[in-house]
């Protein structure tokens, strides 16, 4: 007989698709359905899920496409045989920073949905603007400058909101929106983030913003737990703070809050139980750290086209080159994030150059040459103890950590006298670059996270407890080995094997926790009791090794110096231009 226990759905509304993933109370995945925007949507002129206006560096997505996708995914789950009446809780993960502008009719339309019609058919009038600015948008340089100068400088804005101003952050986006479309802004009754937009659909009324995702706006004062009045004032302009505050609404501090029951539409159209509870959806990065019971001082490194580094930490130490968010479930913890634009693409360029030199052996093992050469090269390319350390910055795309144009810079660093020279003297090119690029990427992570790690035992230097690798690059054991040598990890380096499902899983686990938690029980506690490590993670490399960890400790000093020098060089060039 099929099991009849409760089920939970986690949605992932990302740039290119909407996914729905269903788990049991025991965290077993029983259904997955995906709606790919490019392949499956009808009537939208999009590419990779978005539209662009290149002249103004705008990137945005049609909101109606997401409505079409939600009916699409629910329809697919129904076809798969999901018994919606068993679903006890629904939560989600939304691409961060995107905003949705609701019209004055939104609440009325959300409340009166007819089960015979699609969401798209019925909610066209629910928006004062048909598009949601996307996290890839970079149209807001002027607004970012204003945000930073309004509080004095990037450091102060980071201190208050967890991040310096970023193009994609919602505050600068709203400021630009109200100036560019004053009529639409005036008609906007509420503003949602993508996460709370998703929760609103299920709830049949506008859901509050999520306690973690709200930190991606440059508007939320993290330490005070309120919007920052000064930043609201800047953002609202002539329309006034009170109006903007009404548009944004309150932010409940509990990420597991029961927002209410699913709207009648979902009961009547899909067979949800009227008792199914809507839980706040959060951002996709906060949801990713919920894909496992990540303990404080564990680190997650996502090695995709870009690189993302996530940590759960009790320390709040903001800096303009990093991000802090409230933890999505656990008060007193923060999510620390580094978000690089460069990662996989840069490694692939080095890989291809090496293949050109050595000749490609087997297309089925595209990383064979790269891995072999990297593992044969000694740490920091030091073949003798007199050799300088080889390091560099490899940015095929403009980078944000640190803020630098696209380019490549290679240096030799002598740790004995701390001298640094921009040169490729002594480099065997391109072979030495395999080790140099992976080391340099990992050194950047160690440099920026070292203030947040702690010593696991007397005599052992501060470092993460475990390092979890996710994303495409996590399959590469040679990269994992270097990651362990540089970042440490007293328990080792693990691969989190959940394919592309980390965000949706995290959202589904959040729903399980919110509904089934005992009073005061943390997410980490509940999930670790039910999570079967052997099913999801595999130890793929050693972590902390004393000698090499110390050596890389010296390399970090050189790396920091190198970045500073390149930034100064570039600033001087800009000054002359
Ligand atoms: C994070 C960010 C991206 C999006 C991707 O700040 O902009 O990771 O969340 O969906």
What is the tens place of the pLDDT at every residue in 18-76?
999 999 999 999 999 999 999 999 999 999 999 999 999 999 999 999 999 999 999 99
Alpha-helix residue ranges (DSSP H) falling in 162-238 = 170-180, 182-186, 194-203, 229-236
> At 287, phi and psi to the nearest 5?
-65, -30
- Choice from 13, 97, 506 to test ligand 1 binding pocket (greatest atom count within 8 A of CB): 97
pLDDT of residue 415: 96
Say if strands 299-303 and 99-102 run parallel, antiparallel, or are unpaired.
Answer: unpaired
Alpha-helix residue ranges (DSSP H) falling in 187-281 = 194-203, 229-236, 241-248, 264-270
Cα of 216 to ligand 1 centre, how many Å?
9
Q: Is the CB of 212 under 6 A from ligand 1?
A: no
pLDDT of residue 576: 82
pLDDT lower than 70: segments of the chain? 1-3, 361
Say if strands 307-313 and 299-303 run parallel, antiparallel, or are unpaired.
Answer: antiparallel
Question: Cα torsion at 157, 162, 167, 173 (round to 10°)?
Answer: -80
> Where are the chain's structural domains?
7-285, 344-450
What is the tens place of the pLDDT at every residue in 48-57?
999 999 999 9
Distance CA 235, CA 233 (A): 5
* C-beta pairs of 124-128 under 8 Å, 24+ apart in sequence: 124/64, 126/102, 127/63, 127/100, 127/101, 127/102, 127/103, 128/101, 128/102, 128/103, 128/104, 128/184, 128/185, 128/187, 128/188, 128/189
Cα of 99 to ligand 1 centre, how many Å?
13
Residue tagged 């998703």 (tokens): 198
Enter the tokens of residue 165. Answer: 């101003």
CA distance between the termini of the chain: 74
Cα of 135 to ligand 1 centre, how many Å?
6
Q: Burial code of 151-182, b = ≥16 C-beta within 10 A, e = fewer?
A: beebebbbbbbbbbbbbbbbbbbbbbbbeeee
- Choice from 50, 283, 289, 324 to test ligand 1 binding pocket (greatest atom count within 8 A of CB): 283
> At 230, phi and psi to the nearest 5?
-65, -45
Cα of 94 to ligand 1 centre, how many Å?
9
- Choice from 11, 216, 285, 322 to test ligand 1 binding pocket (greatest atom count within 8 A of CB): 285
Q: Is the CB of 16 under 6 A from ligand 1?
A: no
Cα of 577 to ligand 1 centre, how many Å?
33
Residue 1 CB: number of other CB atoms within 10 A?
3
Cα of 96 to ligand 1 centre, how many Å?
5
pLDDT of residue 2: 54
Are 259 and 208 in contact by the 8 Å Cβ rule? The answer is yes
Cα of 65 to ligand 1 centre, how many Å?
19
Q: H or E stretch including 571?
A: helix 546-576
Are 136 and 15 in contact by the 8 Å Cβ rule? The answer is yes
Domain 7-285 CATH class label: alpha beta
Give the neighbor-by-neighbor strand order of the sheet with 51-53. 51-53, 58-62, 131-133
Q: Is the CB of 522 under 6 A from ligand 1?
A: no
Q: Is the CB of 322 under 6 A from ligand 1?
A: no
Residue 175: strand, helix, or coil? helix
Say if strands 7-13 and 87-94 run parallel, antiparallel, or are unpaired.
Answer: parallel
Distance CA 111, CA 108 (A): 5
Residue tagged 């959060």 (tokens): 282
Q: Is the CB of 122 under 6 A from ligand 1?
A: no
Enter the tokens of residue 50. Answer: 């978005």
Enter the tokens of residue 389. Answer: 């350390």
Cα of 521 to ligand 1 centre, how many Å?
29
Q: Closest ligand 1 atom to the C-alpha of 216? A: 6
Residues 6 or more apart whose CB falls under 8 angstroms from that of 265 comprise 113, 114, 115, 119, 204
pTM of the model: 0.94
Q: Is the CB of 285 under 6 A from ligand 1?
A: yes
Residues 6 or more apart whose CB falls under 8 angstroms from that of 124 comprise 64
Distance CA 438, CA 431 (A): 12
Are 435 and 350 in contact by the 8 Å Cβ rule? The answer is no
Distance CA 216, CA 206 (A): 19
pLDDT of residue 3: 57
Q: What is the 3-state secondary structure (H, E, C) of 321-376?
A: CCEEEECCCCCCCEEEEEEECCCHHHHHHHHHHHHHHHCCCCCCCCCHHHHHHHHH
């Amino acid at each position: 007989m099929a099991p009849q226990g409760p089920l939970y759905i986690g949605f992932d509304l990302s740039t290119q698709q909407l996914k729905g993933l269903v788990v049991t109370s025991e965290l077993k995945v029983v259904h997955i359905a995906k709606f790919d925007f490019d392949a499956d949507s009808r009537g939208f002129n999009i590419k990779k899920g978005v539209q662009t206006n290149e002249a103004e560096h705008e990137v945005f997505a049609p909101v109606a496409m997401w409505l079409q996708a939600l009916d699409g995914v629910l329809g697919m789950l129904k076809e798969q045989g999901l018994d919606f009446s068993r679903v006890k809780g629904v939560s989600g993960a939304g691409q961060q920073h995107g905003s949705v502008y609701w019209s004055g009719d939104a609440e009325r339309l959300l409340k009166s949905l007819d089960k015979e019609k699609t969401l798209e058919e019925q909610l066209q009038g629910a928006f004062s603007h048909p598009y949601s600015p996307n996290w890839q948008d970079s149209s807001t340089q002027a607004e970012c400058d204003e945000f930073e100068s309004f509080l004095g400088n990037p450091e102060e804005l980071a201190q208050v909101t967890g991040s310096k101003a970023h193009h994609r952050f919602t505050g600068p986006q709203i400021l630009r929106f109200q100036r560019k479309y004053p009529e639409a802004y005036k008609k906007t009754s509420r503003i949602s983030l993508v996460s709370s937009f998703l929760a609103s659909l299920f709830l049949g009324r506008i859901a509050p913003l999520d306690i973690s995702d709200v930190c991606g706006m440059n508007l939320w004062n993290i330490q005070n737990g309120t919007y920052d009045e000064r930043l609201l004032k800047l953002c609202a302009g002539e329309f006034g703070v009170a109006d903007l505050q009404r548009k944004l609404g309150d932010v409940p501090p509990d990420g597991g809050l029961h927002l209410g029951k699913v709207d009648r539409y979902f009961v009547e159209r899909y067979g949800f139980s009227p008792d199914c509870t809507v839980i706040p959806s959060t951002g996709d990065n906060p949801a990713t750290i919920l894909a496992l019971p990540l303990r404080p001082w564990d680190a997650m490194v996502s090695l995709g086209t870009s690189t993302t580094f996530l940590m759960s930490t009790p320390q709040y130490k903001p800096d303009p080159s990093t991000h802090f968010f409230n933890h999505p479930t656990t008060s007193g913890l923060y999510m620390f994030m580094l978000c690089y634009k460069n990662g996989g693409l840069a490694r692939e360029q080095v890989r291809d150059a090496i293949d050109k030199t050595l000749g490609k052996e087997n297309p089925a093992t595209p990383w064979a040459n790269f891995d072999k050469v990297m593992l044969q090269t000694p740490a920091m390319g030091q073949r003798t103890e007199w050799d300088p350390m080889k390091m560099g910055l490899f940015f095929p795309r403009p980078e944000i950590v640190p803020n630098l144009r696209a380019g490549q810079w290679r240096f030799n660093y002598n740790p004995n006298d701390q001298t640094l020279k921009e040169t490729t003297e002594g480099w065997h090119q391109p072979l030495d670059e395999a080790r140099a690029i992976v080391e340099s990427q990992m050194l950047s992570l160690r440099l920026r996270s070292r203030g947040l790690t702690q010593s696991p035992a007397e005599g052992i230097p501060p470092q993460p407890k475990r390092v979890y690798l996710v994303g495409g690059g996590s399959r590469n054991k040679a990269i994992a080995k270097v990651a362990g040598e540089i970042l440490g990890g007293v328990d080792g380096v693990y691969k989190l094997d959940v394919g592309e499902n980390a965000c949706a899983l995290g959202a589904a686990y959040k729903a399980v926790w919110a509904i089934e938690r005992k009073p005061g029980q943390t997410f980490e506690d509940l999930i670790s009791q039910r999570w079967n490590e052997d099913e999801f993670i595999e130890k793929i490399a050693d972590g902390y090794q004393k000698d090499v960890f110390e050596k890389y400790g010296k390399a970090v000093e050189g790396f920091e110096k190198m970045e500073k020098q390149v930034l100064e060089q570039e600033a001087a060039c800009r000054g002359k231009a």
